[in-house]
Amino acid sequence: MLVFTTIKHLQSFLAQQNKTVALVPTMGALHLGHLSLIKQAKDLAEIVVVSIFVNKKQFNNSQDYQSYPKNLSADLALLQEQNIDVVFAPDDTEILPSSQDYFTILPAESLENCLCGKFRPKHFAGVCLIVAKLFNIVKPHFAIFGEKDFQQLTIIKQMVEYFNFDLKIIASPTVRNNNGLALSSRNALLSPNGLLVASNIYQALLQVKTNPAHLNDIAKNLLTKGFSQVEYLEIRDSQDLTLLNLNEISLNNQKQARIFIAVILENIRLIDNIAFNF
């Protein structure tokens, strides 16, 4: 496994390879969900590049950035076990060499100013900035992103189309534990009891899927389970994230949508979503 910390050395190596490349962008604190992305990448390309970079530009809360789990040595050991070809683990000065932002990529307002974007101002601008830089640095043929961050996935797909990036975005299904909780690096910040409580997130999504008319009651019920806040529990179109009117939903399975949720538990923000055809 080759580990690069500079753009120059990474690009020099990749330029000598005449092989297909798949990029798996991560912020470290790797778990089985990331490994599922890596498995897809291996199936698609001859060289897999896993990037590890905690993007401070996508944190609108400095405390959230400071508390985000970071363990590069453990991540590298796990990737070594997975026989990864290349790891790109730059520091802040390599990716963001200036303290001043000269360029910003602003996602379409209709995609950004809802769901997580409503509660995390400039979050997706920060995501797009670093992801676009990674695309330009690595120049992959494929890039793999998880469906757990479905809004992010949707925005990145639009960015790739709009800026004519020469690569294909691959969506990877959400990986869950035995209780249905979506695997996330933030789960490591929860207490053992918090992990048990968090399993109610997936159960709430399933309840909405079965009976969308009771969505508001299901959201209120989560507050009795130990969650301090339900930021949103909504049903939106899968393509453009348009909010759907509950009165217009009938369970005829002809249209594609997603049920989205974000909650606060033990001061940790957790998100999830599932497909919903109506």
Name all domains of the chain by residue range, CATH numbers in brackets: 2-172 (3.40.50.620), 185-277 (3.30.1300.10)
The chain-wide mean pLDDT, for the chain, equals 94
Q: Which residues are registered as beta bridge partners of 170? A: 144
pLDDT of residue 249: 75
Q: Which residues are registered as beta bridge partners of 263? A: 230, 270
Range with the lowest mean pLDDT among 127-141, 166-180, 253-267?
253-267
Give pTM, 2 decimals: 0.94
In whole angstroms, what is the distance from residue 154 CA to residue 139 CA? 20
Residues 207 and 218 sit within 8 Å (Cβ to Cβ):
yes
pLDDT at 102 over 80: no
**Average of per-residue pLDDT across 142-168:** 98
pLDDT at 99 over 80: no
pLDDT at 155 over 70: yes
pLDDT of residue 252: 62
pLDDT of residue 75: 97
pLDDT of residue 132: 97
Q: Phi, psi at residue 223, to the nearest 5°?
A: -70, -25
Q: In sequence order, what are the residues at sequence separation of 6 or more whose Cβ sits closer than 8 angstroms to the Cβ of residue 146?
A: 33, 36, 37, 153, 171, 172, 173, 174, 175
pLDDT of residue 217: 97
The active-site residue out of 34, 123, 141, 214 is: 34
pLDDT at 104 over 90: no
pLDDT of residue 251: 63
pLDDT at 101 over 70: no
Q: What percent of the chain has pLDDT over 90?
A: 87
Q: Which amino acid appears at position 257 of this protein?
A: A
Q: Which of 270, 9, 32, 235 is nearest to 138 (CA)?
A: 9
Q: Which amino acid appears at position 188 of this protein?
A: A
Q: Beta strand pairing status for 142-146 and 256-265?
A: unpaired
**Average of per-residue pLDDT across 195-218:** 97
pLDDT of residue 62: 85
SS (H, E, C) the chain: CEEECCHHHHHHHHHCCCCCEEEEEECCCCCHHHHHHHHHHHHHCCEEEEEECCCHHHCCCHHHHHHCCCCHHHHHHHHHHCCCCEEECCCHHHHCCCCCCCCCCCCCHHHHCCHHHHHCCCHHHHHHHHHHHHHHHHCCCEEEEEHHHHHHHHHHHHHHHHCCCCCEEEEECCCECCCCCECCHHHHHCCHHHHHHHHHHHHHHHHHHHCHHHHHHHHHHHCCCCCCEEEEEEEEECCCCCECCHHHCCCCCCCEEEEEEEEEECCEEEEEEEEEEC
Look up 34 and say whether it is catalytic. yes
- Cβ neighbours, 10 Å, residue 192: 6
